[in-house]
Chain A
Amino acid sequence: MGIYLGNIGNIEIARKSDGSPKESLVNPSDVNASRNRFSFDFDESYLIAGDLVEFTTTDATSLDFISSAGWADGIVRSSGNWYIFIDELGGIRLYNNFDDSLEGSTAGLVPLVAITRNIPIAVTVRDRDTRLLASVTDYELNTNRETVDITTLSDEYRQQYSSLITGSGSITAQWDYVDEGGREPIHYLMQLVLRTEIGSNFHGKFYIKSANFNPSGGTFSDTQSNDALWWEFDAIVTNSATSFATTDIIVSQIDFITTGAIRLRALTTGGRKLLQENGDPFILEQGGYSLLEGNELP
């Protein structure tokens, strides 16, 4: 019987949307090539800094306003994926790297070029990557099974029938809006509750015990150290609260409710990875066009 402390847990989240594309038009005046920012008609809360967004032209022409330097193979195509940063004026900057897109810095900024025609586009927020949620101090998850009373006349004892399962919980984390370790800052969930049109969904993996993590506290056998146990579900952010006190770290609390199935999963054997013929692993390219899913090129 081991003793398990809270520091063996963590939270992974994947950005998520309802998958529906938004169609719009990029006009020549929307593209500022000198500042490498552009825009199109969208609600300012539709996109969030750090989103991986797929841009596709709807008339099968090329995305001419994105320089060839912004493509993994240097060829301008009709569809591509980039991380985005939304500046204070609602302009969009493109990045090949998640961390750079959170900061909106000039490092890693994808260059743009001026255009002379209107380009119709469809924009879709992709949900490819799962990241650790940064600086979490505690989380709570409640699962609840509703019951229906089916007691009938002449019964001596109440009878209940299993009904629907619901879940809800909260996350508390130290506030941050950038993170250089490829982790998701809590600021994203604060923005998510304000997101319009495509909702405030996220996919969460809430770990009771993380794999390959040997904390200073607690006791683990050799076979236990690589075990992982976690809840996995989709959730909707329902409430966001941030507290400020002069002598305390800024802390944000996020409340959520689950939607769909809640799974309590366990991984007690080492993970198996798909390898190439020569034994090398497959590498998922993070930037530019290439994706190992969706409408990638052959």
Chain B
Amino acid sequence: MAKVFTGKDGRLLLDGIEQVKVTNWSLTGNLEMLETTSLGDNQRTYTPGVQEFSGSATLLYYNDGAGRNDASTVLRKVLRVDGITEGDTVNMRLRLLEGATNHDVRLTTYITSVSFGASVGDVSSAQVDFQGTGALLEVTV
């Protein structure tokens, strides 16, 4: 059956917990290409180098009835009084839902940048950038 995916099908999970009030997420995968062109070649040639994954997400700064605030949890990955250690990774799962089928990309990340604020006439939200480390853990897209 034909299926067009929209934001309605999107989900974001951090450490296995589905985040609420996410307005967008994006993921970028890069492959570094190493040039292998040599003298006598008529066309440039390349060989694959190192892969890199990074992305961003925006969460409304929102307290649900039980006091849960996912934006706050993510913000505190970077806004903290103690330093960041090697073990402060976040298991991130970016999902598009198709009925009972999940189209996922799962990777280990560091939260590299967070920003939030308040402005007149707008809802407060947290913008989060993340950097993948290591290979992707799961790909079902």
Asked if A pairs with B, the answer is yes
**Residues in chain A within 8 A of chain B (CB atoms):** 146, 148, 150-156, 161, 163-164
- Whether the Cβ atoms of B122 and A156 lie closer than 8 Å is no
C-alpha spacing A151/B121, complex, angstroms: 16
Residue of B nearest to A147 (CB): B121
Contact of B9 among A146, A151, A152, A154 (CB under 8 A): A154
Contact of A153 among B25, B121, B122, B123 (CB under 8 A): B25
Contact of A148 among B25, B97, B122 (CB under 8 A): B122
Is the C-beta of B134 less than 8 angstroms from some C-beta in chain A? no
- Whether the Cβ atoms of B60 and A153 lie closer than 8 Å is no
- Whether the Cβ atoms of B24 and A153 lie closer than 8 Å is yes
Contact with A along B41-80 (1 / 0, CB 8 A): 0000000000000000000100000000000000000000
For the complex of A and B, list the 7 residue pairs with the smallest distance between their C-beta atoms, beginning with the closest.
A153-B10, A153-B22, A152-B21, A148-B123, A163-B121, A164-B121, A153-B7
In the assembled complex, how far is the CB of residue B141 from the closest CB belonging to chain A, in whole angstroms? Answer: 16
- Whether the Cβ atoms of B23 and A153 lie closer than 8 Å is yes
C-alpha spacing A154/B12, complex, angstroms: 10
C-alpha spacing A154/B9, complex, angstroms: 5
Residues of A within 8 A of B20 (CB): 152
Residue of B nearest to A157 (CB): B8
Residues of B within 8 A of A164 (CB): 120-121
In the assembled complex, how far is the CB of residue B82 from the closest CB belonging to chain A, in whole angstroms? Answer: 31
- Whether the Cβ atoms of A155 and B123 lie closer than 8 Å is no
Is the C-beta of B11 less than 8 angstroms from some C-beta in chain A? yes
A-B contacts besides A152-B21, A152-B60, A154-B11, 15 pairs, CB < 8 Å: A146-B121, A150-B23, A150-B60, A152-B20, A152-B23, A153-B8, A153-B10, A153-B12, A153-B22, A153-B24, A154-B8, A156-B8, A163-B121, A163-B122, A164-B120
- Whether the Cβ atoms of B8 and A155 lie closer than 8 Å is yes
Contact with A along B17-31 (1 / 0, CB 8 A): 000111111000000
Interchain Cβ contacts under 8 Å between A and B, 15 examples: A146-B121, A150-B21, A150-B60, A150-B123, A151-B7, A152-B60, A153-B8, A153-B10, A153-B22, A153-B23, A154-B7, A154-B9, A163-B121, A164-B120, A164-B121
C-alpha spacing A153/B23, complex, angstroms: 6
C-alpha spacing A163/B10, complex, angstroms: 26
Contact with A along B81-122 (1 / 0, CB 8 A): 000000000000000010000000000000000000000111
C-alpha spacing A173/B129, complex, angstroms: 57
Residues of B within 8 A of A151 (CB): 7, 23
C-alpha spacing A163/B7, complex, angstroms: 24
C-alpha spacing A146/B20, complex, angstroms: 24
C-alpha spacing A154/B96, complex, angstroms: 10
Query: Most chain-A CB neighbours within 10 Å: which of B11, B22, B23?
Result: B23
Residues of B within 8 A of A152 (CB): 20-23, 60
Residues of A within 8 A of B121 (CB): 146, 148, 163-164
In the assembled complex, how far is the CB of residue A155 from the closest CB belonging to chain B, in whole angstroms? Answer: 6
In the assembled complex, how far is the CB of residue A229 from the closest CB belonging to chain B, in whole angstroms? Answer: 29
C-alpha spacing A126/B60, complex, angstroms: 46
Residues of B within 8 A of A163 (CB): 121-122
Residue of B nearest to A150 (CB): B123
C-alpha spacing A148/B10, complex, angstroms: 21
C-alpha spacing A161/B125, complex, angstroms: 14
Residues of B within 8 A of A156 (CB): 8
Residues of B within 8 A of A148 (CB): 121-123
- Whether the Cβ atoms of B123 and A161 lie closer than 8 Å is yes
Residue of A nearest to B123 (CB): A148
Query: Most chain-B CB neighbours within 10 Å: which of A148, A153, A154, A164?
Result: A153
